[in-house]
């Protein structure tokens, strides 16, 4: 902490850039970060001698946290995505207190910080530190997106999306929440039933996530939305020596995103994809027997 504070005292450019994005005391910020695309302050010799190896990365992460905290103050809340992809890829059990966030180093740093609160979803959880953390993360539903999800709480608490090195066009996962709310046909709610544990107890599922149909040539494409927001003057941008940092209110993203989907349901993927099922291959059960969906057909 002391070394990171010294770094902050040496170079306050990130603090100044975040402030120029219109972020201030008491704000809730959802962060998407990439340290490789942020200009980092150069540690003095004393700091370099004291912090070596893995501790060096921890120094940058603490510096980044302190920079954001300097702007929003103790009354502000920092949120980050702490998605656990291994749960879906490997059917690995999800342990609420232990399963790491696999999005970026900063999100895992935030998850393990004292006072952090994590939403309970084995694949797409959020973690938050600050006064609004429980309001965002507690008592969520079992679907990753939608009305009872942690993502739905972001708008209600006036969140600002803050992109530090990772631009909106690469890092705005919130678009999938909007796609679920709007209803698109190239995604579906997939059921996951690998074990989920919290406090040593298994939490019953099933758990759902709105995901792409595989092997259907569906490619996520958010860059056009970033350009749309730039063209309308809605995306706040500050240039840095390595690129830029960006910010935009969740409320603006929500309204603009749903409008874009209304005009084009495939707005957030590269090209329109029509997916239909042969209904005679469907068997629906009214008890707990798995339902199988069989047989993709092309658009006639």
Residue 231 phi, psi dihedral angles, 5° rounding: -60, -30
Angle, CA of 169, 89 and 296, to the nearest 5°: 80
Question: Does residue 135 have a pLDDT over 90?
Answer: yes
**Residue extents of the structural domains in the chain:** 81-297
Average pLDDT over residues 203-229: 93
Confidence check: pLDDT of 68 > 90: yes
Which phi and psi angles does 239 have, rounded to 5°? -75, 145
pLDDT score recorded for residue 285: 46
Cβ-based neighbour number of residue 151 at 10 Å: 29
Cβ–Cβ under 8 Å, residues 31 and 80: yes
The pLDDT value recorded for residue 258 is 98
The mean pLDDT value of the chain amounts to 90
pLDDT band at 291 (very low <50, low <70, confident <90, very high): very low
DSSP, collapsed to helix, strand or coil, labels residue 285 as coil
pTM: 0.90
Predicted pLDDT of residue 48: 65
202: helix, strand or coil: strand
The pLDDT tens digits of the residues spanning 83-100 come to: 999 998 888 999 999 999
């Amino acid at each position: 902490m002391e070394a990171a504070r010294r770094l902050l005292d040496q170079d306050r450019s990130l603090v100044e850039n975040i402030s120029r994005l219109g972020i201030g005391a008491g704000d809730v910020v959802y962060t998407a970060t990439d340290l490789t695309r942020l200009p980092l302050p150069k540690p003095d010799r004393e700091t370099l001698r004291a912090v070596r190896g893995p501790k060096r990365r921890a120094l940058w992460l603490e510096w980044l946290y302190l920079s954001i905290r300097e702007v929003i103050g103790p009354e502000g809340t920092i949120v980050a995505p702490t998605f656990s992809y291994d749960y879906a890829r490997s059917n690995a059990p999800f342990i609420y207190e232990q399963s790491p966030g696999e999005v970026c180093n900063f999100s895992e740093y935030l998850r393990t910080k004292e006072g952090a609160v994590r939403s309970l979803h084995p694949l797409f959880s959020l973690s938050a530190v600050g006064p609004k953390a429980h309001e965002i993360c507690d008592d969520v539903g079992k679907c990753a997106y939608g009305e009872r999800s942690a993502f739905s709480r972001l708008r209600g608490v006036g969140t600002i999306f803050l992109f530090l090195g990772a631009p909106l066009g690469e890092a705005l996962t919130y678009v999938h929440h909007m796609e679920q709310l709007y209803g698109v046909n190239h995604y579906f709610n997939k059921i996951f039933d690998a074990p989920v544990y919290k406090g040593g107890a298994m939490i019953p599922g099933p758990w759902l996530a709105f995901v792409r149909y595989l092997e259907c040539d569906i490619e996520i494409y958010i860059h056009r939305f970033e350009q749309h927001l730039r063209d309308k003057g809605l995306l706040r941008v500050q240039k840095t020596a390595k690129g830029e940092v960006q910010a935009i209110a969740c409320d603006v993203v929500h309204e603009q995103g749903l409008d874009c989907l209304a005009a084009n349901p495939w707005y957030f993927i590269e090209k329109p994809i029509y997916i239909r099922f042969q209904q005679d291959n469907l068997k629906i059960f009214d008890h707990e027997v798995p339902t199988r969906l069989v047989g993709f057909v092309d658009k006639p």
